[in-house]
A and B are shown apart, each in its own frame.
Chain A
Amino acid sequence: MDLDTDTDTHAHLRDKYAIVGVGETAYVRGAGKTTRQLAQQAVGNAIADSGLDRRAIDGMLSYSYSDSTASNLVGADLGLRLNFFMDCFGGGSSTEALVGLAIGAMEAGMCEAVVVFRSMNGYSGLRMGGTGAMSAAPVADESLHTRPYGWRSAAQMFSPTFLRHMHDYGTRSEQVAAVKVAHSRHASNNPKALYKQRMTVDDVLASRMICTPLHLLDCCTESDNATALVVTRAARAKDCRHHPVLIRSVVGRCNKPRMDMHYQHGPITDTAGRYAAERLWRNAGLGPQDVNLTASYDAFTFTSMLQLEDYGFCAKGEGGDYVSSGAIELGGLRPNNTSGGHLCEGYTHGISMVIENVRQLRHDADDSCPIGPDGKRQHTYDYREGGCRQVRNAEVSANLGWASPGTGSAMVMRRA
């Protein structure tokens, strides 16, 4: 079949768009800045990283929990004139979905280069763990059937899925703790990471229980930060500063049946990834075996594991074996979240995991390796603490975004 006209698989869009710029602010608890200031800084960094003239940026997309600034303000603060902007409601799983919408906006001729950003004071402002403003809000509408039971935080609402996985497949706490161990080792080689200390399985299991089966160290961080991407046509990427990273396939906010009440539709150990996987790999013309590194969203250790199963990186039910085999560590078969992810680097509702994979596919992970005469890092591939975190010969990555067991997004990228 002619790839250029195959609209059933959307193969005609493979590699036609690229992420050409990435940027962020420091991952901190207590930024002392508004989300508008943080966004101005992160989006400015991403545009500078792209090498594009700021006047070339004419599209902007953002997402938030109604806890952030808006595109029209950030665009103005950077002296941009936008042809298209939109601010969406949502958290995890928004990143890949909005990259897809950015492609759609450019395909429709609405704009030429789109920034996607998320700016949040996730520690100092609206806390994603559910304490403070979230728990003080009145209980109404749909939440009348959940919040009156003390069931509101992500840990509380996802734990039935995690427990049922342990029950159905014999998954053990120490296997899942290996996700934290791997991500903490990666974070120890990431100067930006909020938590750089390497953790052991025993550290995870000895940390206090939050909501069975989640120990404190099974849960992600809360942090203040802004993160941003620049998406444009692949043809323009050639003129940008860095080696192009092409978008091969996206799936955005794909649902299980009954996304409103994901625990109603059995088996509850299946996540939306089971449904997204088919579309992701078909559109990419690639499969899990072609992927060199993954970024499976780590709101919790369990979410990384569940999605790696449902996207086919291991058989269903074997996620515990896969994540504890060493495969997901730097130097392993297919490292996951080489930045340390949301468990260690900082919490951004997903963009940071795309930023990391873009840098990996440029072969330019920002670790502590020495910078050579060409201005690029000379990667040592020595993954000991404080060392390198570049994946050798990284060609293809997969981002597996998570909102809940019922909703997920995904994206495959490749090095041009």
Chain B
Amino acid sequence: MATYQHLGMELRVSEQDAVNTAYFAHCAARRFSLQRCDGCQLLHYPPSAGCPWCGHADYRWDEVDGRGTVYSYSEVTHAVQPGFAPYVPYMVLLVELDTQRGQPSAGEAIRVLGNLVRPDGTMASAQEVASVGIGTRVRMVFTQLGETMALPQWTVDQDAAPVQAWRPDVSR
């Protein structure tokens, strides 16, 4: 059992779990890699024991471009996890990857979670949170937790053409 600390939480990766061990090791080496199914040749996320599209168990790791668009998000004001309390409001982004968008059917895509962070992997400020919404272009960065463990995260892609991000009016 490998254990890591992150914002007051203990993360445990079992030695029985070769899939998650490899996934996070790739992240630690700054290569975002997903399982590509030997059966249907589609990528899937998060790491799993079988392909959600065809049920095949065999796969190979493929490095994937960490760029995409915010599809939806959670903006948390009331932290349930105590370690997140200093960072409210914080954002959990659901990012639709450019890779494999619209496959295997029109409404589908690989949607990858991560916090909105600064390029150095630290949590974004309230002001930065307020500038992000559905449609924002983001790129992947990593929060390093150990030699072979890093969490994939998202930061605003400053190289992308600016878009008008959608945020809801929750006051009326």
Contact = CB atoms under 8 A, between A and B. Distances in A.
A261 B72 contact: no
Interface residues of A, number: 50
A33 interface: no
Interface stretch (A6-14, A96-104, A209-217, A306-314): A209-217
Given A140-B11, A145-B47, A266-B109, 6 more contacts: A135-B81, A149-B114, A166-B168, A205-B170, A205-B171, A258-B52
B114 A213 contact: no
Interface string A252-264: 0000011011011
Contact of B78 (A144, A210, A257, A264): A210
Interface of B: 3, 6-7, 9-14, 17, 20, 24, 45-48, 52, 71-84, 87, 89-90, 92, 94, 107-111, 113-115, 134, 151, 166, 168-172
Given A138-B11, A163-B134, A212-B168, A268 B80 contact: no
Given A131-B80, A212-B74, A261 B46 contact: yes
Contacts of B47: 145
Given A151-B113, A164-B71, A140 B80 contact: no
Given A144-B20, A149-B92, A212 B52 contact: no
Contacts of A149: 92, 113-115, 151
Nearest to B152: A145
A213 B167 CA distance: 10
B2 to A, nearest CB: 11
A105 to B, nearest CB: 30
B168 A163 contact: yes
Interface in A123-156: 129-131, 134-135, 138-142, 144-153, 156
Given A138-B11, A139-B11, A151 B92 contact: yes
Given A160-B72, A172-B169, A173-B171, A265 B107 contact: yes
A129 B80 CA distance: 8
List 6 A-B pairs, minimum CB-CB distance, nearest first: A266-B107, A160-B72, A150-B84, A212-B75, A145-B46, A130-B80
A167 B70 CA distance: 12
A107 interface: no
Give the residue among B3, B47, B77 with the most A Cβ atoms within 10 A.
Answer: B77
B134 A167 contact: yes
A267 B107 contact: yes
A376 to B, nearest CB: 45
Contact of B6 (A148, A208, A212): A148
Given A138-B12, A164-B71, A208-B78, A150 B45 contact: no
Contacts of A211: 74-78
Contact of A163 (B7, B73, B79, B151): B73
Given A148-B11, A160-B72, A215 B80 contact: no
A181 to B, nearest CB: 15
Given A138-B10, A163-B73, A163-B134, A150 B108 contact: no
B124 to A, nearest CB: 12
Interface of A: 129-131, 134-135, 138-142, 144-153, 156-157, 159-161, 163-164, 166-167, 172-174, 205, 208-213, 215, 257-258, 260-261, 263-268
Nearest to A216: B78
A138 B7 CA distance: 12
A150 B7 contact: yes
21 contacts: A135-B81, A140-B11, A140-B14, A141-B17, A148-B7, A148-B9, A148-B151, A149-B92, A149-B113, A156-B74, A156-B76, A159-B73, A160-B72, A166-B168, A205-B170, A205-B171, A209-B77, A211-B74, A212-B74, A260-B48, A263-B94
B172 A205 contact: yes
A135 B80 contact: yes
A139 B108 contact: no
Nearest to A218: B170
B17 A161 contact: no
**Which of A150, A152, A257 counts the most chain B CB atoms within 10 A?**
A150
A212 B113 CA distance: 17
Given A173-B171, A264-B45, A265-B107, A145 B113 contact: yes
A92 to B, nearest CB: 18
B142 to A, nearest CB: 12
Nearest to A219: B78
A71 B127 CA distance: 52
A146 B90 CA distance: 14
